[in-house]
A and B are shown apart, each in its own frame.
Chain A
Amino acid sequence: NAGVTQTPKFRILKIGQSMTLQCTQDMNHNYMYWYRQDPGMGLKLIYYSVGAGITDKGEVPNGYNVSRSTTEDFPLRLELAAPSQTSVYFCASSYAGQGIPNYGYTFGSGTRLTVV
Protein backbone atom coordinates (compact mmCIF):
# COMPACT_ATOMS: atom_id res chain seq x y z
CA ASN A 1 0.00 0.00 0.00
CA ALA A 2 1.93 3.02 -1.29
CA GLY A 3 -0.32 5.83 0.05
CA VAL A 4 0.35 9.07 -1.82
CA THR A 5 3.17 9.00 -4.36
CA GLN A 6 4.65 12.23 -5.68
CA THR A 7 7.19 12.61 -8.43
CA PRO A 8 9.72 14.05 -8.96
CA LYS A 9 11.32 14.69 -5.56
CA PHE A 10 13.54 17.47 -6.85
CA ARG A 11 13.51 19.63 -9.96
CA ILE A 12 15.25 22.73 -11.23
CA LEU A 13 13.42 24.70 -13.90
CA LYS A 14 14.44 27.69 -15.93
CA ILE A 15 12.16 30.72 -16.04
CA GLY A 16 9.45 30.18 -18.63
CA GLN A 17 9.69 26.38 -18.69
CA SER A 18 6.74 24.16 -17.92
CA MET A 19 6.43 20.96 -15.96
CA THR A 20 3.92 18.60 -14.39
CA LEU A 21 4.13 17.34 -10.83
CA GLN A 22 2.59 13.91 -10.59
CA CYS A 23 0.49 12.68 -7.67
CA THR A 24 -1.12 9.27 -7.30
CA GLN A 25 -2.95 7.72 -4.37
CA ASP A 26 -4.11 4.13 -3.95
CA MET A 27 -6.41 4.54 -0.94
CA ASN A 28 -9.56 5.36 -2.92
CA HIS A 29 -9.68 8.78 -1.27
CA ASN A 30 -12.13 11.15 -2.89
CA TYR A 31 -10.44 14.39 -1.82
CA MET A 32 -7.04 15.39 -3.17
CA TYR A 33 -5.05 18.58 -2.60
CA TRP A 34 -1.99 20.42 -3.78
CA TYR A 35 -0.15 22.64 -1.29
CA ARG A 36 2.97 24.72 -1.46
CA GLN A 37 5.19 25.38 1.53
CA ASP A 38 7.44 28.42 1.57
CA PRO A 39 10.16 28.81 4.23
CA GLY A 40 8.70 29.90 7.58
CA MET A 41 5.17 29.91 6.20
CA GLY A 42 2.22 27.59 6.62
CA LEU A 43 1.09 25.31 3.85
CA LYS A 44 -0.98 27.16 1.26
CA LEU A 45 -3.66 25.42 -0.78
CA ILE A 46 -3.16 25.72 -4.54
CA TYR A 47 -5.98 23.54 -5.89
CA TYR A 48 -8.16 20.76 -4.59
CA SER A 49 -10.52 18.15 -5.93
CA VAL A 50 -13.50 16.48 -4.28
CA GLY A 51 -13.69 13.72 -6.84
CA ALA A 52 -12.90 12.69 -10.40
CA GLY A 53 -13.81 15.42 -12.85
CA ILE A 54 -14.16 18.11 -10.17
CA THR A 55 -11.46 20.63 -9.27
CA ASP A 56 -11.49 24.00 -7.58
CA LYS A 57 -9.09 26.80 -6.76
CA GLY A 58 -7.47 27.19 -3.38
CA GLU A 59 -5.76 30.24 -1.94
CA VAL A 60 -2.86 30.56 -4.41
CA PRO A 61 -3.92 29.10 -7.79
CA ASN A 62 -2.29 31.61 -10.15
CA GLY A 63 0.31 30.06 -12.43
CA TYR A 64 -0.96 26.51 -11.89
CA ASN A 65 -3.49 24.14 -13.40
CA VAL A 66 -4.81 20.76 -12.35
CA SER A 67 -6.95 17.96 -13.67
CA ARG A 68 -8.61 14.95 -12.05
CA SER A 69 -9.55 12.46 -14.71
CA THR A 70 -9.40 9.50 -12.29
CA THR A 71 -9.83 9.03 -8.54
CA GLU A 72 -6.17 8.05 -8.23
CA ASP A 73 -4.36 10.82 -10.11
CA PHE A 74 -4.17 14.57 -9.51
CA PRO A 75 -1.35 16.15 -11.53
CA LEU A 76 -0.30 19.78 -11.03
CA ARG A 77 0.84 21.70 -14.08
CA LEU A 78 3.13 24.73 -13.95
CA GLU A 79 3.05 26.83 -17.09
CA LEU A 80 5.71 29.50 -17.65
CA ALA A 81 7.62 28.90 -14.44
CA ALA A 82 8.59 31.96 -12.41
CA PRO A 83 11.05 32.38 -9.50
CA SER A 84 8.07 33.01 -7.20
CA GLN A 85 7.09 29.38 -7.74
CA THR A 86 10.25 28.16 -6.04
CA SER A 87 8.83 26.17 -3.15
CA VAL A 88 8.21 22.72 -1.76
CA TYR A 89 5.02 21.18 -3.12
CA PHE A 90 2.95 18.59 -1.30
CA CYS A 91 0.12 16.50 -2.60
CA ALA A 92 -2.33 15.11 -0.05
CA SER A 93 -5.50 13.07 0.00
CA SER A 94 -8.28 12.33 2.45
CA TYR A 95 -11.68 10.73 2.62
CA ALA A 96 -14.76 12.78 3.33
CA GLY A 97 -18.38 12.70 2.41
CA GLN A 98 -21.83 13.94 3.25
CA GLY A 99 -22.10 13.88 7.02
CA ILE A 100 -18.76 12.10 7.32
CA PRO A 101 -15.95 14.03 8.96
CA ASN A 102 -12.82 14.53 6.98
CA TYR A 103 -10.32 12.23 8.58
CA GLY A 104 -6.63 12.88 8.73
CA TYR A 105 -4.71 13.68 5.64
CA THR A 106 -2.16 11.44 3.93
CA PHE A 107 0.65 13.46 2.44
CA GLY A 108 3.09 12.71 -0.32
CA SER A 109 6.80 13.11 0.37
CA GLY A 110 7.03 16.47 -1.37
CA THR A 111 8.68 17.97 -4.45
CA ARG A 112 11.38 20.58 -4.00
CA LEU A 113 11.19 22.91 -7.00
CA THR A 114 13.66 25.65 -7.81
CA VAL A 115 13.05 28.11 -10.64
CA VAL A 116 16.15 29.93 -11.82
Chain B
Amino acid sequence: KNEVEQSPQNLTAQEGEFITINCSYSVGISALHWLQQHPGGGIVSLFMLSSGKKKHGRLIATINIQEKHSSLHITASHPRDSAVYICAVRWKTSYDKVIFGPGTSLSVIP
Protein backbone atom coordinates (compact mmCIF):
# COMPACT_ATOMS: atom_id res chain seq x y z
CA LYS B 1 0.00 0.00 0.00
CA ASN B 2 1.38 3.39 -0.96
CA GLU B 3 1.86 5.80 1.90
CA VAL B 4 0.10 8.59 -0.02
CA GLU B 5 -2.78 7.82 -2.31
CA GLN B 6 -4.83 10.13 -4.48
CA SER B 7 -8.19 9.76 -6.14
CA PRO B 8 -9.26 9.93 -8.79
CA GLN B 9 -6.19 9.20 -10.89
CA ASN B 10 -7.70 11.02 -13.88
CA LEU B 11 -10.59 13.45 -14.01
CA THR B 12 -12.35 15.18 -16.88
CA ALA B 13 -14.79 17.98 -16.09
CA GLN B 14 -16.89 20.50 -17.96
CA GLU B 15 -16.01 24.15 -17.50
CA GLY B 16 -17.82 25.55 -14.50
CA GLU B 17 -18.08 22.28 -12.57
CA PHE B 18 -17.09 21.92 -8.93
CA ILE B 19 -14.12 19.58 -8.64
CA THR B 20 -12.85 17.55 -5.70
CA ILE B 21 -9.53 15.72 -5.56
CA ASN B 22 -8.82 13.49 -2.60
CA CYS B 23 -5.63 12.55 -0.79
CA SER B 24 -5.29 9.90 1.90
CA TYR B 25 -2.15 8.96 3.79
CA SER B 26 -1.08 6.32 6.25
CA VAL B 27 1.64 8.02 8.33
CA GLY B 28 1.55 10.64 11.06
CA ILE B 29 2.30 13.97 9.47
CA SER B 30 3.26 17.47 10.47
CA ALA B 31 1.99 19.11 7.29
CA LEU B 32 0.44 18.40 3.91
CA HIS B 33 1.18 20.20 0.66
CA TRP B 34 -0.89 20.55 -2.48
CA LEU B 35 1.09 21.21 -5.64
CA GLN B 36 0.06 21.91 -9.22
CA GLN B 37 2.09 20.62 -12.16
CA HIS B 38 1.36 22.41 -15.41
CA PRO B 39 1.22 20.59 -18.76
CA GLY B 40 4.63 22.06 -19.55
CA GLY B 41 6.07 20.36 -16.47
CA GLY B 42 6.50 23.27 -14.07
CA ILE B 43 5.44 22.67 -10.45
CA VAL B 44 3.82 25.30 -8.26
CA SER B 45 3.11 25.05 -4.56
CA LEU B 46 -0.58 25.78 -3.88
CA PHE B 47 -1.13 25.17 -0.17
CA MET B 48 0.54 23.93 2.95
CA LEU B 49 -1.87 22.69 5.64
CA SER B 50 -1.48 21.31 9.10
CA SER B 51 -5.13 21.63 10.15
CA GLY B 52 -8.49 22.98 9.05
CA LYS B 53 -9.00 24.73 5.78
CA LYS B 54 -7.32 27.22 3.47
CA LYS B 55 -8.72 29.17 0.54
CA HIS B 56 -7.00 30.95 -2.31
CA GLY B 57 -9.20 32.29 -5.07
CA ARG B 58 -11.23 29.40 -6.46
CA LEU B 59 -9.13 26.79 -4.69
CA ILE B 60 -9.99 25.39 -1.28
CA ALA B 61 -7.95 22.82 0.61
CA THR B 62 -9.12 20.96 3.71
CA ILE B 63 -7.49 18.45 5.98
CA ASN B 64 -8.79 16.02 8.59
CA ILE B 65 -5.81 14.90 10.64
CA GLN B 66 -7.75 12.21 12.55
CA GLU B 67 -8.99 10.61 9.35
CA LYS B 68 -5.65 11.14 7.55
CA HIS B 69 -7.42 12.72 4.62
CA SER B 70 -7.25 15.94 2.64
CA SER B 71 -9.30 17.33 -0.21
CA LEU B 72 -8.59 19.96 -2.83
CA HIS B 73 -11.67 21.66 -4.25
CA ILE B 74 -11.85 23.84 -7.33
CA THR B 75 -14.96 25.97 -7.73
CA ALA B 76 -16.16 27.22 -11.14
CA SER B 77 -13.50 25.20 -12.94
CA HIS B 78 -11.83 26.63 -16.02
CA PRO B 79 -9.72 25.06 -18.79
CA ARG B 80 -6.65 26.81 -17.36
CA ASP B 81 -7.07 24.62 -14.26
CA SER B 82 -6.07 21.62 -16.39
CA ALA B 83 -2.97 20.22 -14.71
CA VAL B 84 -1.73 17.43 -12.49
CA TYR B 85 -2.47 18.04 -8.81
CA ILE B 86 -0.04 16.46 -6.37
CA CYS B 87 -0.50 15.83 -2.67
CA ALA B 88 2.63 15.57 -0.51
CA VAL B 89 2.90 14.83 3.20
CA ARG B 90 5.65 15.72 5.62
CA TRP B 91 6.41 12.91 8.05
CA LYS B 92 6.09 13.84 11.70
CA THR B 93 8.94 11.51 12.63
CA SER B 94 11.43 13.08 10.25
CA TYR B 95 11.26 16.77 9.65
CA ASP B 96 12.82 16.53 6.24
CA LYS B 97 10.97 13.50 4.89
CA VAL B 98 8.27 14.35 2.38
CA ILE B 99 6.30 11.70 0.51
CA PHE B 100 4.58 12.61 -2.72
CA GLY B 101 1.40 11.11 -4.08
CA PRO B 102 1.21 9.96 -7.71
CA GLY B 103 -0.91 12.95 -8.75
CA THR B 104 -4.38 13.47 -10.19
CA SER B 105 -4.55 14.53 -13.82
CA LEU B 106 -7.36 17.05 -14.35
CA SER B 107 -8.68 18.10 -17.71
CA VAL B 108 -11.34 20.83 -17.87
CA ILE B 109 -13.20 20.98 -21.17
CA PRO B 110 -14.74 24.24 -22.44
Residues of A whose CB lies within 8 Å of any CB of B are: 31, 35, 40-45, 48, 50, 56, 88, 90, 92, 96, 101-107, 109-110, 112
B41 adjacent to A56 (CB under 8 Å): no
Is residue B43 within 8 Å, beta carbon to beta carbon, of the partner chain? yes
Taking A101-B31, A101-B50, A105-B45 as known contacts, 9 extra A-B pairs with beta carbons closer than 8 A to each other, sorted by chain A number, are A35-B100, A42-B99, A42-B102, A92-B43, A105-B35, A105-B43, A107-B44, A109-B42, A110-B43
Closest 4 CB pairs of A and B: A104-B45, A42-B100, A107-B43, A43-B100
Q: A42-B102, A103-B48 are in contact. Are A110 and B90 (CB under 8 A)?
A: no
Max count, chain B CB within 10 A of own CB: residue among A43, A45, A109, A110: A43
Max count, chain B CB within 10 A of own CB: residue among A35, A44, A105, A112: A105
Q: A42-B100, A42-B102, A48-B96 are in contact. Are A102 and B41 (CB under 8 A)?
A: no
* Proximity string of chain B (81-110) to chain A, C-beta cutoff 8 Å, 1 when within and 0 when not: 000001010100001111111110000000
Q: Which residues of B contact A104 (CB under 8 A)?
A: 33, 45-48
